[in-house]
Amino acid sequence: METFPVLLIAIPLGGAFLVPILCKAWDRLAEIVTGLCLAAVLALSIYLAFSLEAGKPLVYLFGNWPVPLGIAFAVDRLSAFMLLVVSILVFFSYIFAIRYMDHFTGSGKFYTLYLLMLVGMNGVVMTGDLFNMFVFMEIAGISSYALVAFGTEAEELEAGFKYMVMGEIASMMILLAIAFIYAATSTLNLADISRSFAAMDKTPGFWFVLILLMSGFSIKAALVPFHSWLPDAHPSAPAPISALLSGVFIKVLGVYAMARIFFNVYGVSRASYPAVFNALLILGLASIIIASLLALKQTDYKRLLAYSSISQIGYIVLALGIGNELALIGALAHILSHSLGKGLLFLTSGSVVYRVGERDITKFTGGLGKQMPWTSLSYNLGALSVAGMPPFLGFFSKLFIILGAVKAGFIVPAVVAGLFAVVTLGYLLKITNKVFWGKEGIKGIKESPFVMVFAMVSLVVLLVAGGAFFFWLKPHLLQPAADVLLKGTEYAEIVFRIGAGG
């Protein structure tokens, strides 16, 4: 088990190296190798997520240099949880992509970038080193810019360019913050930085760096004043990539990285630094309200879903801003439920585009539900889950966020969160109404190929199962991950205790 963190990087990275060579020999070989890599990553992360002991992270020392000196991976329950979320969605999007990418040329390039994006996300989640985190962020980032522009039509290139400019501004802000942190502490190890910060005077510079990091990660997470790139970028990518970008990418690079650095490195908690948490609360509320209202007037299938992603990421950041135990469990549950739900919705958009070739919902006359029953069913159940309706996982995640807000005494955010769950249902049902319901459909449309339906239905099953077994998931998966955040700077002590021996 000690080598798992390295395998989780090495397997997809090796796959990314092999795929462009193998696809010269036979196109399908690239797909098979990618599939094997992703299945291995999925198996490893399922094992890690349920078997890792709480409070005993895996610390992998590169070159066996003890903790503050070398680069270390520190995989605790929070990392393991994020790995699970990433690998589930990456695996099912891949299954969907097998047939969906028939429309595109250059499948070797696609799968290479796909695997590299996975490497980047896994790396960000596992690393215990600040600069290393930046490097993995750039690996994931550059491959995602290329994947957004993969269609190479004018719109896709434009979206890729906009996304790239915003993403790089964010990266440079984060790198600047890293430079300042290194200047102040002379270390890059997250645990060591945490120790230095604890002993340091909280000068204005200290807060300046925190604000730099918050702005950088907010751009990566597309929170509302920084969201302009997302509604262009996510719809322009091929559907499996849209699902990944909205489902896990913004959460790993934005929310996870922000939570890890704020809670475990800065060691801020609502009791000690309410200003930081109020800022998160306001960002979250602004994202929920403004993005939901903008989503209501969208007429493009994928663009509507993209605005919905901004609003749902607002819920997660709102819950981080509330910062008590219930809300953090809600935030993590929402990361899981939204990644499955929004991934599913983007896959259904891919299924519709695959058969109909149209994304503008005003051009649909309805009735696709008869011809594409599985896509329609998946969309409707996914929409109910994203909106937070009872039997699904999405209900419990929003419930816990609202309960956390009420318990902490934030009545207005709780009311807004509850109210905008209904608005969410409103704009998602707009697609149901225009595309799937009704009598007459477009002539000659049939259901998508089996693998695409399989990927969508699997995600629906996971959403239903997640709802049904939520009270089993909570102690086994969500609680230990939330504890990592709640314990704050204890993270540093744990990593030092395990990793300093060498």
Partner 1 sequence: MIILVASLILFLVGLYAIITKRNMIKVAVGFSLMEYSVNFLFAIVGFRPGALPPILQAVEVGKVYSDPLPQALVLTAIVIGLGVTAFMLSLILRLYNRIGSFDLEEIQRLKG
Where on the chain is the footprint of partner 1 (CB under 8 A)?
131, 135, 138, 142, 145-146, 149, 152-155, 157-162, 164-165, 168-169, 172, 175-176, 179-180, 182-183, 186, 188, 231-232, 236, 297-298, 300, 303
Query: In a 10 Å sphere around its CB, with 0-12 CB exposed, 13-18 middle and 19+ buried, how is residue 457 labelled?
Result: middle
Minimal distance in Å, beta carbon 4 to partner 1?
25
Whose tokens are 């907010």? That residue is 218
Distance (Å) of CA 45 to CA 5, 10, 82, 195, 469: 9, 14, 9, 29, 19
Whose tokens are 């039997």? That residue is 391
Q: What are phi and psi of 400, to 5 degrees?
A: -70, -35
DSSP result, 66-126: -TTTS-EEEE-HHHHHHHHHHHHHHHHHHHHHHHHGGGSS-HHHHHHHHHHHHHHHHHHHH
Minimal distance in Å, beta carbon 368 to partner 1?
23
Query: In a 10 Å sphere around its CB, with 0-12 CB exposed, 13-18 middle and 19+ buried, how is residue 80 labelled?
Result: buried
Q: Based on CB atoms, which residue is closest to partner 1, 171 or 348?
A: 171
Minimal distance in Å, beta carbon 90 to partner 1?
22
Q: Based on CB atoms, which residue is closest to partner 1, 159 or 327?
A: 159
Q: What are phi and psi of 86, to 5 degrees?
A: -60, -50
Q: Based on CB atoms, which residue is closest to partner 1, 14 or 151?
A: 151
Distance (Å) of CA 437 to CA 173, 364, 441: 46, 10, 9
Q: Based on CB atoms, which residue is closest to partner 1, 249 or 374?
A: 249
First to last CA, the chain: 17
Which residues fall within 8 angstroms of residue 166, CB to CB, at 6 or more apart? 219, 226, 228, 229
Minimal distance in Å, beta carbon 121 to partner 1?
17
Helix 479-486 × helix 77-100 angle, to 10°: 130
Q: Based on CB atoms, which residue is closest to partner 1, 47 or 161?
A: 161
Minimal distance in Å, beta carbon 253 to partner 1?
15
Whose tokens are 């429309």? That residue is 103
Helix (H, G, I), strand (E, B) or coil at 250: helix
Minimal distance in Å, beta carbon 237 to partner 1?
13
Q: Return d(Cα 224, Cα 41) in angstroms, integer.
A: 33
Amino acid at residue number 92? F
Q: Based on CB atoms, which residue is closest to partner 1, 135 or 445?
A: 135
Minimal distance in Å, beta carbon 180 to partner 1?
8
Task: Give the helix ranges, DSSP H, for 130-153.
Answer: 130-148
Minimal distance in Å, beta carbon 188 to partner 1?
8
Q: How many residues does the chain have?
A: 502
Q: Based on CB atoms, which residue is closest to partner 1, 233 or 345?
A: 233
Q: Based on CB atoms, which residue is closest to partner 1, 149 or 320?
A: 149
Minimal distance in Å, beta carbon 250 to partner 1?
18
Q: Based on CB atoms, which residue is closest to partner 1, 138 or 490?
A: 138
Q: Based on CB atoms, which residue is closest to partner 1, 177 or 473?
A: 177
Minimal distance in Å, beta carbon 175 to partner 1?
5
Tokens representing 413 are 């955010």
Contact by Cβ (8 Å): 374, 453: yes
